[in-house]
Amino acid sequence: MDEFFENPIFGLFLTLAIGWLGVKIRDKSGKNWVNPMLLSVLMVIVVLLTLDIPYESYKKGGDLIHMFLGPITVVLAVPLYSNRDYLKKYSKSILVGILLGSFSALISVVFLSKLFGLDEFLMKSIMGRSVTTPIALAIADMLKANQSIVIIAVSITGVFSILIVPFVYKLLKITHPIAKGVALGTAAHAIGTGKAMEYGPLEGAMSALSIGIAGVFTIVWILIFQVIGFI
Amino acid sequence: MKIIGQLAIILAVYLSGLLLEHIFSLPLPGSIIGLLLMLLLLHLNIIKVEKIKQVSDFFLNNMMFFFIPATVGIMASYQILEGFLLKIIVLVMISVLITISITALVVQFIAKRKDRNNG
């Protein structure tokens, strides 16, 4: 039977079936804070543990899906390109905002990790948390950190961001649609973009184009941190 | 056939990114070089958005699905998290608050100044 589960098609099928089920459950629940990806992950883990299937066997099929994250990173260029007219008009505010936003995301993780007594490996595993998952995984790779931890940190980031953002915008009197969209895309990647779309199409477009820029800027900051020996 | 061609274009740009990283020993990950390369090719009109639209929309709309296998990997490494999970959650929450606030304030400050100068 072990051989059966070693077949990559098994892991591929399990991920497809449960991935689809996760989205169905989210849609039926009608709650937009339910994260279908995390739900599916839990269900896959339960199935593997119940049937006593080793993670390595599942991974053979999982890797077939995982390897597409590279090409997915490449197509992040498309929303950026499609919204280039907005970028031109407000280039200074968008670029400076994302540059400082990405920096604040990284620097806060470094200082809070020290404050909370996390070791360097955990800190590096969380550093990519504000950017979109495929880029966060590339960052984890660069820093030789743990890929599963960064995805969980990215997911917490997304879920928490959309919960707090209405209060933050009210408290700080953020009313400009460009600011609302760019901050959501920079701080909360695709999940933030979903929220930005609720504010309006302009906010949504700004958020979508910020995802790719924030990913690239974050990587550039990390390279700078490495060169100056900060991390 | 359309879908196959679109996928081939996207994979070609991705592989070029990996190749450039390898040949020039660049510090940027190959996937990011691929993103920048794609942006350049779109900008220069060498690749038209319509030529990759369906496949890229599929990837972007279903992106979360592709994260499942790597996240399931937590099974194999949960011991690292033991005793730290709550700290990590609180850390991420504080960091999110800081990131959203700073980005929104900076963008609004500069954007409003531009609006005033123009209007």
Is the separation of the CB atoms in A213 and A94 below 8 Å? yes
The reply to whether A87 touches chain B by the CB within 8 Å rule is no
Radius of gyration of the CA atoms of chain B, in A: 20
Of A38, A72, A174, the CB nearest to B104: A174
For residues B114 and A36, what is the distance between their CA atoms, to the nearest angstrom?
40
**CB–CB of B65 and A100 under 8 A?**
no
Choose among A222, A157, A214, A145: nearest CA to A181: A214
The reply to whether B65 touches chain A by the CB within 8 Å rule is yes
The reply to whether B83 touches chain A by the CB within 8 Å rule is no
| Closest residue in chain A to residue B109, using alpha carbons only | A93
Is the separation of the CB atoms in A191 and A162 below 8 Å? yes
* Cβ-based contacts of B19 with chain A (< 8 Å): none
**Statement: residue B119 has pLDDT above 70:** no
For residues A80 and A56, what is the distance between their CA atoms, to the nearest angstrom?
37
Q: What are the pLDDT digits (tens) for B56-100?
A: 999 988 888 998 998 898 888 788 888 888 999 999 999 999 999
For residues B34 and A118, what is the distance between their CA atoms, to the nearest angstrom?
33
pLDDT level of residue B24 (50, 70, 90 thresholds): very high
**CA count, 13 A, side-chain hemisphere, A53:** 25
> SS3 for A130-192, per residue?
HCCHHHHHHHHHHCCCCHHHHHHHHHHHHHHHHHHHHHHHHHCCCCCHHHHHHHHHHHHHHHH
**Statement: residue A33 has pLDDT above 80:** no
Residue A1's H or E segment, with its range, is none
Whether the CA torsion A220, B85, A56, A63 is positive or negative: it is negative
Q: What are the pLDDT digits (tens) for A133-156?
A: 999 999 999 999 999 899 889 988
Q: What are the pLDDT digits (tens) for A83-106?
A: 898 888 899 999 999 999 999 999
The reply to whether A224 touches chain B by the CB within 8 Å rule is no
**CB–CB of A74 and B10 under 8 A?**
yes
* A60 burial level (CB within 10 Å; 0-12, 13-18, 19+): middle
Predicted-complex ipTM score:
0.91
The reply to whether B16 touches chain A by the CB within 8 Å rule is no
For residues A142 and A124, what is the distance between their CA atoms, to the nearest angstrom?
10
- Looking at residue A227, its amino acid is V
* Cβ-based contacts of B11 with chain A (< 8 Å): 71
| Closest residue in chain A to residue B35, using alpha carbons only | A74
Encoded tokens for B49: 């958005």
The reply to whether B12 touches chain A by the CB within 8 Å rule is no
Of A44, A74, A215, the CB nearest to B72: A44
For residues A101 and A210, what is the distance between their CA atoms, to the nearest angstrom?
11
**CB–CB of B74 and A72 under 8 A?**
no
Is the separation of the CB atoms in B39 and A74 below 8 Å? no
The reply to whether A36 touches chain B by the CB within 8 Å rule is yes
